[in-house]
């Protein structure tokens, strides 16, 4: 793909000894940003997460070194400290380093921690935002994050910390706002989260939706309500990665999805490697 200079400004150089923190989007390679593609074509070293589609890595140069640094809940995973040390060491070798993350590096991607480590080590870095799955997955499923009729705000929340009294009170407080909540990494703690949301004042019939493996051929969507959410997720065998929407906007899928054009309707493949 060529990028016409009359349309695109000159791309910045990924210089030796620098690190770029780049978002790969929600999965489908077609949802990469142009800057992310430029970074993939420039890097000497790529350190990537588990949720990066393997086909995206095929955009890398043939001589690029590729390191897997995926974190998956409940499984042996690299420690964040080790990842920080790796990207710093590669930069100190004079390599052009790409830290590639699913979604957006600064939305529940620990990109902020890595940026802090780079600053502490004196390593120059650049951030290339990506489309975060918490907004992309609902949108692709026909669920707007906001509409004037349903909500004036939306809450993005990580769901993997919900097993103590302080966390429970936090979920109750979020529910009390009455604004839709979009959950990342919440499957393991879903019963606790839904119970806290009910205590926080959300009605049992509050619309909810779960989007699993968004933008891939394995995508599955469950439409339900808050009271039945945890049970329906278990009954349908939903697995991570999954994004969960709780709020009035989730009900809009029933209206919007029938009119949406999708790859499945056109008989085209999506993002399965």
Residues forming the active site: 49, 71, 185
- State the burial class of residue 199 (Cβ atoms within 10 Å of its Cβ: 0-12, 13-18, 19+): middle
Give me the helix-helix angle, 190-199 and 165-176, nearest 10°.
Answer: 50
Spell out the SS3 assignment of 53-100: CHHHHCCCCCCCEEEECCCCCCCCCCCHHHHHHHHHHHHHCCCCEEEE
Q: Which neighbouring-strand residues pair with 222?
A: 210
Return the closest-CA partner of residue 114 out of 159, 65, 48, 28.
48
Q: Rounded to whole angstroms, what are the CA distances from 211 to 35, 141, 160, 221, 245?
A: 27, 8, 17, 5, 8
């Amino acid at each position: 793909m060529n990028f016409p200079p009359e349309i695109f400004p000159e791309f910045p150089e990924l210089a030796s000894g620098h690190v770029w923190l780049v978002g790969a989007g929600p999965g489908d390679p077609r949802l990469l940003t142009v800057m992310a593609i430029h970074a993939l074509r420039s890097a000497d070293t790529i350190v990537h997460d588990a949720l990066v589609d393997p086909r995206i890595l095929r955009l890398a140069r043939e001589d690029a070194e590729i390191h897997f640094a995926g974190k998956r809940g409940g499984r042996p995973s690299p420690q964040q400290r080790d990842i920080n040390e790796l990207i710093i060491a590669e930069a100190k070798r004079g390599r052009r380093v790409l830290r590639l993350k699913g979604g957006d590096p600064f939305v529940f991607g620990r990109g902020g921690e890595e940026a802090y480590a780079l600053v502490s080590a004196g390593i120059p870095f650049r951030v290339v935002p990506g489309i975060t799955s918490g907004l992309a997955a609902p949108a692709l499923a026909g669920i707007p994050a906001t509409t004037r009729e349903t909500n004036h705000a939306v809450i993005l929340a990580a769901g993997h910390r919900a097993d103590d009294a302080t966390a429970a009170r936090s979920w109750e407080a979020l529910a009390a706002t009455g604004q839709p909540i979009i959950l990342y990494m919440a499957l393991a703690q879903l019963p606790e989260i839904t119970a806290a949301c009910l205590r926080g004042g959300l009605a049992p019939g509050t619309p909810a939706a779960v989007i699993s493996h968004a933008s891939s051929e394995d995508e599955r969507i469950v439409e339900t309500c808050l009271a039945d959410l945890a049970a329906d997720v278990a009954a349908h065998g939903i697995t991570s990665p999954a994004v969960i929407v709780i709020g009035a906007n989730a009900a809009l899928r029933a209206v919007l999805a029938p009119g949406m054009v999708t790859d499945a309707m056109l008989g085209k493949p999506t993002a399965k490697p």
